Amino acid sequence: MGDIPALPRAQWLWTQKSGSGREEYEDAAYCWQSGEAAADGAGRPVASLYVAVSDGASESLLARDWARLLVRDAVESMRLAGDWWQELPTFVRDLMDRSAAHWDAFLIRYQAERAAQGRPIAWYEQPGLEKGAFATVLGAEVRAVVLADGTTRWHWYAFALGDSCLFQVRDGRLLESFPVRTVEEFGITPQLLGSRNHDVELVARRMRLASGELLPGDELLLATDALAAWLLSRTTEAEPRGLVDAPAFASFDQEDFAEWVDDQRARARMRNDDVTLVRARVGAEA
């Protein structure tokens, strides 16, 4: 079928909390792009970019490792399910079964490595291991579809559990923020997915879904909560759907991004937390 033109490429920028080392970063992100076209239910050529971000809950043991595992499993579950948003309980079950199996395997390796290093699991760590790790998770698919006349259309589909957010931006204006829409909605106890949670029905009820159409030049920004709150704080009452003073993230590298985040923290504009951004722009320049 050939390749789909102009699938966006993902740009991943991140930095750890101020005062922490890079190894203490507890967010995670993962991206996967199909290399060639498949076919949708109508037989049209399609290709997709899949992205997931996660914010590990520092209060839980091994949150960094759970977040890293979760983003890969979220992408894999979206990729293998086709139109995954149409059967949310099935998708949630697949994700939870997949991540639970990978978590159990990880714990076996982790405990073996600790023992080999002469640092076996201590008695006071055991309750934390039994309780499990927790993290938010946000996943999105950007799908390009070739119509009968040869033109390409783009849509995004997203799910969220917690306060990591997706933003759709067009010409500097905020068209959509999901699942959080205002700064005031951010709380101290977001919904989290636990590595020991097997209640598919409960998670499916709590999971949010959204979708939208993309035009050439549109950007999708996936951000963990500290940056998401900053982006929403850039809106004003007069321009509630406008992004104010948002930087040109496309021009940033990792060092630029870390310096910018540090500056915003120093100005008390951004909470000191791990910060993650995945950006994708539709069009030939993406």
Query: What ranges do the domains of the chain cover?
Result: 10-281
Structure tokens at 35: 């290399």
pLDDT of residue 1: 47
Round to whole Å and give the CA distance between 139 and 52: 4
pLDDT of residue 286: 38
Round to whole Å and give the CA distance between 213 and 85: 15
pLDDT of residue 6: 59
CATH 3.40.50.300 describes domain 10-281: no
Average pLDDT, the chain: 90
211: burial class by Cβ within 10 Å (0-12, 13-18, 19+)?
Answer: middle
Structure tokens at 254: 């990792």
Global pTM value:
0.92
Average pLDDT of span 30-43: 81
Round to whole Å and give the CA distance between 201 and 74: 17
Average pLDDT of span 233-260: 82
201 beta partners: none
Tokens 């890079």 label which residue?
Answer: 22
Evaluate whether 164 touches 54 at the Cβ level (below 8 Å): yes
Round to whole Å and give the CA distance between 10 and 107: 31
